[in-house]
Amino acid sequence: MRFKDIEGQTIMANKLTEIIDSGRVSHAQLFLGDSTSGSLALAIAYAQYLNCEHRQHYDTAAGHPDALRADSCGECPSCKKYEQLVHSDLHLYFPTTTTDSVKSNPCCDEFQQDFRKFLTEYRQQGTLEDWYAFMQTDNKQGQLRERDAESMVNTMALTTYENGYKVLIIWMAEKMSAVVANKILKILEEPTRRTLIILVAEHSDKMLSTILSRAQLVSIPRVHGSDEMTFGEVQVRAENRDYFAQMYVTWMRQLFKLNMASLSAWVDEIAGLGREQQKQFLMFAQESVRECFLCNLAGMPLAMDFGDAKFNSSFPAMITEHNAEGLNNAFAECIHAIERNAYSKIALMELSFRISKLLQRRKPAAPKS
């Protein structure tokens, strides 16, 4: 997979090739993006570029600012094996389940050929549901299993077959139980030479914090053009998203200054939306805070776009380990109150005061003298 073959992710591709060219490749990374983001294809393209023997660099100065700055060559021996997904230092893990052909003890080893066939047929953009349909699972939910974790640990212990990096890609990493996750903590935190582990996931809230804290976050935006985006469990329609982002930016700015007149007008506007819309907005806001916190933690630029460059670059720093949990709880309680038909204006005003206080609490309390 070359970056040029992934639609709508040029900016992300440029960030990724820059990480590799600058030699700042972290041993364990989490590619987080919804099913429209092409995150698995990006992970494979990233691994291919990392191992390419003749990386291509393009002169972007003259061209469109969104043009690709670099890509793998597609021609060298390593690229050729990557294009066929047969490179001996590329190891793929994914959820499996029992099927007609694998009646017991499923694990990734049993499905390697099927999975490569699936990736090829779906141009590496298939969803988890597509994969289940491909395996003909009869609606059974797949998992990443203990045997898979053992295989990951063993694979990491092997020497690389070829000259480049050994790469483990773990697709749908949220399908790992705590037991399985614990088995791979050691390989996540103890980098061995020329190895890369890429976890690919859709929902950070379904992942264990032990895993999240050990992987560098690469937050992958959705591809523009698909008309719905997922925020946690809610689907937010694209036209709502721009409005929500705008209302969110306005709100957060008001909460810094605590301007009561404009805050009150803001509360009136949100309270005037239907209850379901209010809930969706709050879920959007909650997810935004989570995203800002994760980016802040990982020291990565924010991938989500609030439609305001200044806000995009300055706001994530306001969400720290001192207030992230409090903010998350405040949103959750307000959502719950709105679901229980609380009076929206009061619930939103109370939430505003709570957030305002929490934003000021982003640094540890000064010791009392």
Q: Cα-Cα-Cα-Cα dihedral of 281, 308, 295, 304, to 10°?
A: 60
Of the pair 52, 201, the CB lying nearest Zn ion is at 52
Phi, psi (deg, nearest 5) at residue 85: 60, 35
Instruction: Report if residue 56 touches Zn ion, rule: CB under 5 A.
Output: no
Instruction: Report if residue 211 touches Zn ion, rule: CB under 5 A.
Output: no
Cβ atoms of residues 107 and 151 within 8 Å = yes
Token digits of residue 245: 């982002």
Which class for 139: exposed (0-12), middle (13-18), buried (19 or more C-beta within 10 A)?
Answer: exposed
Instruction: Report if residue 207 touches Zn ion, rule: CB under 5 A.
Output: no
Convert residues 4-43 into a mask of x (bound to Zn ion by CB under 5 A) and - (unbound). Answer: ----------------------------------------
Of the pair 77, 301, the CB lying nearest Zn ion is at 77
3-state SS assignment for residue 258: coil
Q: Which residues pair with 123 in a beta bridge?
A: none
Instruction: Report if residue 52 touches Zn ion, rule: CB under 5 A.
Output: yes
Alpha-carbon distances, residue 356 vs 178, 272, 318, 347, 360 (angstroms): 35, 22, 11, 14, 7
Query: Cβ 3 to Zn ion, closest distance in Å?
Result: 12
Which range, of 31-39, 50-58, 148-156, 246-254, touches Zn ion by CB under 5 A? 50-58
Instruction: Report if residue 47 touches Zn ion, rule: CB under 5 A.
Output: no
Q: Which residues pair with 197 in a beta bridge?
A: 28, 168
Of the pair 52, 267, the CB lying nearest Zn ion is at 52
Convert residues 60-99 into a mask of x (bound to Zn ion by CB under 5 A) and - (unbound). Answer: ------------xx--x--x--------------------
Binding-site residue total for Zn ion (CB under 5 A)? 5
Residue ranges that bind Zn ion, judged by CB under 5 A: 52, 72-73, 76, 79
